[in-house]
């Protein structure tokens, strides 16, 4: 038996945050061998798409192949007159691979048999892949390659079965939105500028400060592996590297009416927020997460065109597609960590947390089960250093009580996705200083997921 969570409207439970990238403007241009913010490329994609010569309106138009990563890094190359191309990029993240006439999308690479809208180059076995002859499907933008899905899975993900490949395909629908490369509609690709990307967060909230209760007690006697997460609402945010000025008021309009978290029945389409700066100023953002602007309906964020206004400038994100987003009220398919806390007695401090043991779980038919290692590898990003739009992943945070001295670290602590334990003894984290614990990771498709674990009724 596992512990069923009470309905979100009765209890403040866990927080599950999902951040999806749309219309990524904080990318770095990188013709063929550049990009990546000055980091040397280390992977090459080659192929041939002869149809590009017949579908373009002007024979002299230069066709570009553009790879846009889940981390917003962008790499470009020119398609030769015979349809061949060679594109250099940085491995370690998925990329959408689109073919463009100027800023007009002519097609993008898909692998329909496993549901891929992108190429998950997360752990390639070599330094290059040849996609062979590519074919633009009739009356669509879908481009398929002649390489079979098993070979692609092994070559790009270093997986021997299609289990992880198909699970990746179930969450990568939002990757298509990166194909919007001109969100300010000035005719220039965004990777040559510093435009705004939309991020969508999907949170489970039962009310201010809500979290799953009784979980820390469970961690002290074993794993809290009866825990089952379930998202209850979602909120949006905009971000860019530097074009957003701190304090500026930003508005965002959804394509359809949303039903808000509170007051009950509140509806809206336009949200406003002030720009803030992340630690180190590597990213500026506006988070539309007020309780009256946090949506519970529709149960998945609506598809369509989103528009943002920043200081009189307008940004348009066309054809946003949220397929693959987790559904409000459903826990199915979510991969998440559970923890076991090992404590020790520290002179002058008392009982402190020495080691965090962890394992990965998944909700399958409503039940918490151990996650398949291939699925974990396909979905959970393993970044020991932060990307341009995200911090380290996965990580754990020990949150202190407000307004009192604490031994809790000010920042989250990274741990290896493929490991089993994390030594935190050097932090001397006093158990009684911990108000709640947050587990967090970025998916390979740049979805931010947070899980909050609290005490039951008493603090040791």
pLDDT in 10s for each residue of the chain, 460 residues: 333 322 222 222 233 333 334 445 433 444 443 344 456 899 999 999 988 766 654 445 678 999 998 877 899 999 998 899 999 999 999 999 999 988 999 999 999 999 999 999 999 999 999 999 999 998 899 999 999 999 999 999 999 999 999 999 998 888 898 898 998 899 989 888 866 666 555 454 443 345 788 999 999 999 999 998 877 788 887 877 666 788 989 999 999 999 988 787 899 999 999 988 765 555 677 888 777 788 889 988 899 999 999 888 899 989 888 777 778 888 888 899 999 999 999 999 999 999 999 999 999 998 999 999 999 999 998 988 755 455 689 999 999 998 888 999 988 999 999 999 999 999 999 999 999 999 988 888 877 788 889 998 655 4
Cβ within 8 Å of residue 354, ≥6 positions away: 342, 343, 344, 423, 424, 425
CA distances, 310 to each of 99, 274, 313 (Å): 29, 10, 5
Specify whether the CB–CB gap between 132 and 147 falls below 8 A: yes
State residue 158 phi and psi, 5-degree precision.
60, 45
Each domain of the chain, given as residue ranges in start order, spans 1-25+194-460, 27-190
Choosing among 1.10.3720.10, 2.60.40.1120, 2.40.160.40, 3.40.1280.10, the CATH entry for 27-190 is: 2.60.40.1120
Q: How far apart are CA 392 and CA 234, in angstroms?
A: 22
Structure tokens at 10: 């009765």
CA distances, 190 to each of 22, 63, 362, 363 (Å): 12, 17, 37, 38
Q: How far apart are CA 155 and CA 228, in angstroms?
A: 34
Given the DSSP bridges, would you call strands 142-145 and 104-109 parallel, antiparallel or unpaired? parallel
Q: How far apart are CA 85 and CA 103, in angstroms?
A: 18
CA distances, 429 to each of 215, 328, 346, 398, 435 (Å): 18, 35, 10, 8, 12
């Amino acid at each position: 038996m596992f512990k069923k969570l009470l309905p979100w409207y009765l209890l403040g439970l866990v927080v599950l945050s999902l951040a999806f990238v749309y219309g990524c403007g904080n990318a770095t241009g990188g013709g063929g061998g550049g990009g990546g913010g000055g980091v040397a490329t280390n992977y090459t994609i080659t192929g041939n798409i002869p149809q590009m010569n017949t579908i373009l309106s002007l024979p002299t138009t230069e066709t570009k192949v553009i790879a846009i990563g889940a981390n917003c890094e962008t790499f470009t190359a020119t398609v030769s007159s015979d349809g061949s191309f060679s594109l250099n990029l940085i491995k370690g993240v998925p990329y959408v691979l689109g073919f463009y006439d100027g800023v007009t999308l002519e097609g993008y690479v898909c692998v329909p048999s496993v549901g891929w809208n992108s190429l998950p180059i997360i752990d390639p076995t070599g330094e290059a892949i040849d996609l062979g002859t590519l074919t633009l499907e009739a009356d669509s933008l879908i481009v398929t390659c002649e390489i079979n899905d098993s070979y692609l899975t092994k070559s790009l993900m270093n997986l021997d079965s299609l289990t992880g490949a198909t699970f990746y395909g179930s969450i990568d629908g939002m990757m298509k939105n990166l194909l919007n490369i001109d969100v300010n509609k000035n005719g220039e690709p965004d990777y040559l500028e510093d435009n705004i990307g939309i991020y969508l967060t999907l949170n489970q909230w039962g009310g201010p400060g809500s979290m799953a209760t009784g979980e820390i007690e469970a961690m002290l006697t074993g794993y809290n592996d009866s825990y089952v997460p379930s998202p209850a609402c979602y909120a949006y945010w905009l971000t860019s590297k530097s074009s957003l000025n701190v304090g500026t008021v930003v508005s965002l309009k959804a394509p359809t009416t949303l039903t808000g978290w509170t007051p009950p029945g509140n509806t809206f389409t336009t949200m406003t927020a002030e720009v803030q700066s992340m630690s180190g100023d590597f990213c500026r953002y506006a988070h539309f997460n007020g309780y009256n602007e946090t949506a519970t309906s529709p149960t998945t964020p609506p598809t369509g065109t989103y528009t943002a206004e920043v200081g009189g400038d307008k940004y348009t994100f066309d054809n946003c597609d949220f397929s693959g987003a987790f559904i409000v009220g459903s826990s199915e398919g979510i991969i998440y960590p559970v923890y076991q806390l090992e404590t020790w007695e520290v002179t002058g401090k008392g009982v402190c947390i020495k080691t965090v043991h962890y394992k990965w779980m998944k909700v399958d038919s409503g039940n918490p089960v151990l996650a398949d290692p291939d699925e974990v590898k396909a979905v959970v990003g393993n970044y020991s250093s932060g990307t341009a739009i995200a911090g380290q992943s996965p990580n754990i945070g020990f949150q202190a009580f407000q307004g009192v001295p604490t031994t809790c670290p000010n920042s989250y602590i990274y741990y290896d996705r493929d490991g089993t334990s994390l030594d935190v003894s050097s932090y001397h984290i006093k158990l009684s200083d911990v108000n709640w614990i947050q587990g967090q990771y970025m998916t390979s498709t740049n979805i931010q997921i947070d899980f909050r674990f609290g005490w039951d009724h008493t603090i040791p």
